[in-house]
Amino acid sequence: MAIEGIPYSAALVVVYQTGLSPLGAPITRQKTFNSIRFDAPEEAVYDAAHALFGLTKHPVLDVFFRKTWELAEEE
């Protein structure tokens, strides 16, 4: 039984800092942008995340390019 991965969806997830807690630890949030092109180059996705958040006052901590495949038996 052979299994093939079929591209299903992709999303850009950006983790950013919104401030500091009373103890000085960073307070973080994340924003997910769905419906990203599955075949988009990783560098373009990374650059887009930094361009978008360059318009805000919140620094970017992490950028994730989450891809999902549907696994199915080959016919």
DSSP string, 49-72: HHHHHTTSSSPEEEEEEEEEEEEE
Model pLDDT for residues 42-68, shown as the tens digit of each residue: 999 999 999 999 999 999 999 999 999
Tell me, what's the pLDDT at 51? 97
Amino acid at 10: A
Q: Tell me the C-alpha distance between 72 and 75, whole Å.
A: 9
Whole-prediction pTM value? 0.86
